[in-house]
A = this chain, B = another copy of it.
Amino acid sequence: MHTTLQPTEGETTTLHQDYLHLHQRPELSMQEHNTASFIESRLTEMGIEHFRCGGTGVVGILRNGQGPVVAFRADSDGLPIQEDTKVDYASTARGTLDDGTDVPVMHGCGHDTHVAGALAAARILVRGTDSWQGTVIFIFQPGEETSAGAAAMVADGLWEKVPHPQVVLGQHVFPFATGTISVTPESAMAMADSLEVTLYGKQAHGSQPQDSIDPIVLGANIITRLQTITSRELNPLDSAVVTCGSFHAGLKENIIPDSAVFTLNIRTLTEEVRAKVLAAVTRIINAEAVASGAPQPKITELYTFPRLYNDPQHTEQLVGALGEEFGEELIRLAPPAMGSEDFGALADAIGVPNVFWMFGGADPQDPSPAVNHSPFFLPEYRGALDTAVRAAVAGLMHYVGR
């Protein structure tokens, strides 16, 4: 067992200040300009070497002699949600979507705890260089919510600019009790593929269906048919979701429209299942268009969330390390979740393992707080940050601790 480092009172005060600062200044995905500047100024204060990467991403490199290299990622973006938590430090920030819409912005997924926690962990490691040796790379990643950020950092040469780590670590706040950790070996979160499908029909007056190719009836048949992918084409022991989140066609009740547009969100846990589902989706959409005598639909990929595969051996080690920090009984092995994360893209880009765990952000006395992405989402920040920092430090020290 390694000796680990605990935050001092002063470090905790700074941690709380950082969190409250960030919480009130959330920024939309890939627009985290002020957040990046804030991170940079903090790293500069700590004397940690850093550089911009992927636009609004920041990478800090903390070198402490020969030894293992390990990376730790914290994502930094907010969400276009109006915070409705009633706390006096609630966000009133606004942002501008790509289409120009002005929207409220909120740290509705708790990434403020991730950034503040990572900065605190860095501060502790800087203070405690006697206790460890090696190199720790802090990756402050933008744009997790849109799956753009990890890819942008990799594309911007992240791994050419830092030594390759033996493992990439990351963590996420969730509304279970502070002081507890949840981790899933192997496939931990779902891959997500989002598609936009345009169906082409033929417009006609509502009284003359014979002159139309009805894209709404075609769409209805496709939606209905897509249900058979999970019900008939997959092993019932595999997990997959095919959700049609939107369907839009037509302006007037008495005009059969000439097209319809719908979006799909597909979630799978393995590449094999993913490939099977994507092939089935395409096969069904195209064949149903043929059944309608319609032109071939257009299928456009909106975005893809990569796999998040926790290396089993590293996961087992970290369960041990975190168990020492928090108590073995407070580390839960959880089944996979169907939600998605782009964390996995970082390590997968260079073929190294990664481990991603969930830390509790809810008051243990108030066990059912609002969930992530809700206007009411509000971590009990003191406990949440304490959990975040101790988990980060314990995880890192497992690799670099003396």
| A interface residues with partner B (beta carbon < 8 Å) | 190, 192, 194-196, 205-210, 212, 214, 216-217, 219-257, 260, 262-265, 267, 280, 283-284, 286-288, 290-293, 302, 335-340, 373
Contact = CB atoms under 8 A, between A and B. Distances in A.
Contact of A254 (B243, B249, B283): B243
Contact of A232 (B205, B209, B263, B288): B209
Nearest to A371: B205
Given A208-B235, A245-B254, 20 more contacts: A190-B207, A209-B233, A214-B228, A214-B244, A219-B220, A221-B224, A227-B227, A227-B232, A228-B292, A237-B336, A237-B337, A245-B257, A246-B253, A247-B249, A247-B250, A248-B248, A250-B263, A254-B265, A280-B293, A284-B291
Contact of A338 (B236, B246, B263): B236
Nearest to A280: B293
Contacts of A217: 223-224, 227-228, 231-232, 244
A337 B160 CA distance: 46
Contacts of A238: 210
A255 B192 CA distance: 13
The interface centre, meaning the residue of A192, A206, A221, A292 with most chain B CB atoms within 10 A of its CB, is A206
A225 B236 contact: no
Contacts of A219: 220, 223, 247
A252 B263 contact: yes
Contacts of A253: 194-196, 243, 245-246, 263-265, 302
A270 to B, nearest CB: 13
19 contacts: A194-B253, A206-B241, A206-B243, A210-B234, A210-B235, A212-B232, A216-B223, A216-B244, A217-B227, A217-B244, A220-B222, A227-B227, A230-B236, A236-B338, A245-B251, A245-B255, A245-B257, A247-B248, A288-B291
Among A190, A234, A263, A291, the one with the most B-chain Cβ atoms within 10 Å of its Cβ is A291
A205 to B, nearest CB: 7
Contacts of A335: 237
9 nearest CB pairs, A to B: A246-B250, A253-B263, A287-B291, A207-B338, A220-B223, A206-B243, A220-B220, A287-B290, A206-B265
B338 A237 contact: yes
A340 to B, nearest CB: 7
Contacts of A257: 245-246
Contact of A207 (B232, B251, B280, B339): B339
| Most chain B Cβ neighbours within 10 Å, of A237, A262, A335 | A237
A56 to B, nearest CB: 23
A142 B299 CA distance: 46
A225 to B, nearest CB: 6
B241 A251 contact: no
Given A216-B223, A221-B225, A228-B227, A250 B254 contact: no
A192 B234 CA distance: 18
A248 B219 CA distance: 12
B205 A373 contact: yes
Nearest to A209: B232
Contacts of A280: 293
Contacts of A249: 246-248
Contacts of A251: 245-246
A238 B283 CA distance: 26
A236 B254 contact: no
A249 B248 CA distance: 6
Contact of A267 (B236, B245, B248): B236
